Amino acid sequence: MWKNKVHYYFRFILGMTRSEILGMLSLFIFLLLVDIFSRCMEYQSRQQVMDSFQPTYWTKTLIEMEKSNQRVYAYPKRNLPSVYKSNHQPYKSTLYSNAWKREKKQVWQIDINQADSLAWIALPGIGPAFAKRILAYRERLGGFHRVAQLKEVYGLDTLWANQHIAQFHVGKGIFRYLYINRADWKEFRHPYLPYRQANLVLNYRKQHGAFQNWEDLKKVQQLDEAVWQKLSPYLSFEP
What confidence tens digit (pLDDT) does each residue in 16-70 have?
677 777 787 788 888 888 888 888 877 776 666 555 545 554 455 555 666 555 5
Helix, coil or strand: residue 169: strand
The mean pLDDT value of the chain amounts to 79
Q: For residue 10, what are the domain limits?
A: 1-80
- 119 burial class (0-12, 13-18, 19+ CB within 10 angstroms)? middle
Average pLDDT over residues 152-174: 92
* Contact (CB, 8 A) for 215 and 199: no
Judge whether 204 lies within some domain: yes
Same domain, 76 and 1: yes
Judge whether 4 lies within some domain: yes
Same domain, 1 and 52: yes
Same domain, 116 and 76: no
Closest-CA residue to 148 (of 129, 174, 127, 169) = 169
CA atoms of 97 and 106, how far apart (whole Å): 15
Q: pTM for the full model?
A: 0.54
